[in-house]
Amino acid sequence: MTTTATTIAPALFVKMILDRWDASIANCDTLLNSLSDETLQKEIAPGKNRGIYLLGHLIAVHDDLLVLLDMGEKLYPELNEPFIKSPDKTVQQLPAVSELRSFWVQQSQAIKQKFDNLKPEEWFEKHTAVNAEDFEKEPHRNKLNIVVTRTSHLQYHLGQLRLLK
């Protein structure tokens, strides 16, 4: 094993990934603050998902992220059914947009705190959906990679929510 190949500190790499996550969350905050509750009830394009659905979906997916990272229980387990298992416009009773906004803000703060508490090396430990045997062969299936893929997911839906402007 050469030492030149190992001079990059894990902290640097973790910063790259968490900076991108933080920036995506901040962009989503700014966008949500610029959209009225009424606008969020609209479809992003004719016949497509509504803003409220995408917001609920993001919160539900980020709740899953907490579980995958072994950072505790879901904050809003009741959102799984209407915003992940069910497509938009098939569930009668959804939370109010104002309630989802408050969930979003509280969840983002909780996630930030938990992220800040993890040491750089701990980000390279296995996430909860991979077993120890597979992880030995596939060490990229670590906690940090969950943040990489969920940032991609957030950006995907951010591009869609942006159409409500």
Contacts with its own copies, residue ranges (CB under 8 A)? 4-13, 15-17, 19-20, 24, 44-46, 48, 120-121, 124, 139-140, 142, 144-145, 148-149, 151-153, 155-160, 162-163
Nearer to its own copies, 112 or 153 (CB): 153
* Minimum CB distance to its own copies, residue 144 (Å): 7
Residue 19 beta carbon to its own copies: minimum distance, rounded to whole angstroms: 7
What residues contact residue 140 under an 8 Å CB cut-off, 6+ apart? Answer: none
Cα–Cα distance for residue pair 106/160, rounded to 1 Å:
23
Q: Which of 141, 66, 58, 70 is nearest to 100 (CA)?
A: 58
- Measured in whole angstroms, how far is the alpha carbon of residue 97 from the centre of its chain? 18
Supply the minimum distance, in Å, between the C-beta of residue 148 and its own copies: 5
- Closest distance between its own copies and the C-beta of residue 78, in Å? 25
Tell me whether residue 109 or residue 152 sits nearer to its own copies (CB atom). Answer: 152
Q: Smaller CB distance to its own copies: residue 38 or 140? A: 140
Quote the DSSP letter at residue 61: H
Q: Are 51 and 41 in contact (CB under 8 A)?
A: yes
Given a contact cutoff of 8 angstroms between Cβ atoms, the answer to whether 157 and 59 are in contact is: no
Question: Whose Cβ is closer to its own copies: residue 41's or residue 155's?
Answer: 155
